[in-house]
A = this chain, B = another copy of it.
Amino acid sequence: MKNIIIASTSTVHGSGYLVYLLDELTSFYKDTEEILFLPYARPGGITHDEYTAAAAKAFEKIGKTVRGIHEFKNPVEAIANAKGIFTGGGNTFLLVSQLYKHKVMQPLREAILDGTPYLGTSAGSNICGLTMQTTNDMPIIYPPSFKTLGVVPFNINPHYLDPIEGSKHMGETRETRIKEFHKFNTLPVVGIREGSWIRVIGDKNTLEGPLTARIFEYEKTPYELETGSEVVFL
């Protein structure tokens, strides 16, 4: 049974890395002492070791150890053996390229479908969708495909951002960008605001955290989903 947390962000403004999620993560990872970390998205280009150390520092607070997937000789086996997985944020193009390069996209999907608890933040959340085509990231590297894990039946837009009132900037708003996506794709998109997350248990996807999400369905007016509600598309 799927057991996933799809979080908009690792960090909310004014708080430390993962701090706002730690209570939730204590019960989420209750059956494992060790978490397998996928540092592939490398925010700011830091090394895999540095990124893994940052994740380890956060999880230390709830008594968990963290190992980076790059420390394993066989990343496919590392995923198959993991009792809990976390993919951090950074650049989604890089993350997806690395998942394909190390041939772990499919094994990761299988582990999640088999019930291994999976936490994603930002880019790590993006890949839970059917494609990475609603990422906000810059295409700094050319991935072999935009297809991702598809462990939920919709796409994710993490760090969802409302139009800034009074802005004189003429670049597209997030909403405009997602509407452009829907000119060529019919998948629903869930825009998750920073501080909220989707809790997946089996086939039930529930919005949690303090904020509403913005839902974009093909050929429908976008709407808000209240926290505590199920994400359902008919």
Q: Which A residues have a C-beta under 8 Å from some C-beta of B?
A: 9, 11-14, 42-45, 90-91, 93-94, 122, 132-142, 145-146, 158-159, 161, 164, 168-172, 176-185, 194
**Can you report 12 A-B residue pairs in the complex whose CB atoms are below 8 A from each other?**
A43-B172, A45-B180, A122-B171, A133-B139, A133-B140, A135-B138, A136-B171, A136-B172, A137-B177, A140-B184, A161-B171, A171-B194
Instruction: Give the chain B neighbours of A179 by CB distance below 8 A.
Output: 44-45
Q: Measured between alpha carbons, how far is A179 from B118 in the docked complex, in Å?
A: 29
Out of B9, B12, B142, B185, which one reaches A146, CB within 8 Å? Answer: B142
Which partner residue on chain B sits nearest A93 by CB separation? B139
Instruction: Name A195's closest neighbour in chain B (CB-CB).
Output: B170
- Which residues of chain B come closer than 8 Å to A170, judged between CB atoms? 9, 11-13, 159, 194
The 3 lowest CB-CB distance pairs between A and B, nearest first, are: A45-B183, A159-B171, A13-B168
Instruction: Report yes or no: A140 in contact with B45, Cβ–Cβ below 8 A.
Output: no
Give every chain B residue within 8 A of A183 (Cβ-Cβ).
42, 44-45, 140
> Chain B contacts of A142 at CB under 8 A?
145-146
* Bound-state Cα–Cα, A21 to B145, Å: 38
Q: Which residues of B contact A171 (CB under 8 A)?
A: 9, 122, 136, 158-159, 161, 194
Residues of B within 8 A of A169 (CB): 13, 159, 161, 194
Known: A13-B168, A45-B184. 7 other contacts (CB 8 A): A14-B168, A91-B180, A133-B139, A135-B138, A136-B171, A159-B170, A169-B194
Number of copies: 2
Min C-beta distance of A155 to chain B, whole Å: 11
- CB <8 Å contact, A139 and B135: yes
CB neighbours (8 Å) of A132 from chain B are: 139
Chain B residues positioned under 8 Å from A94 (CB to CB): 180, 184
Assembled-state Cα–Cα distance A178/B194 (Å): 22
Query: Which of B122, B133, B145 makes the CB contact (< 8 A) with A138?
Result: B133
> How far, in whole Å, are A142 and B139 apart by their CA atoms in the complex?
11
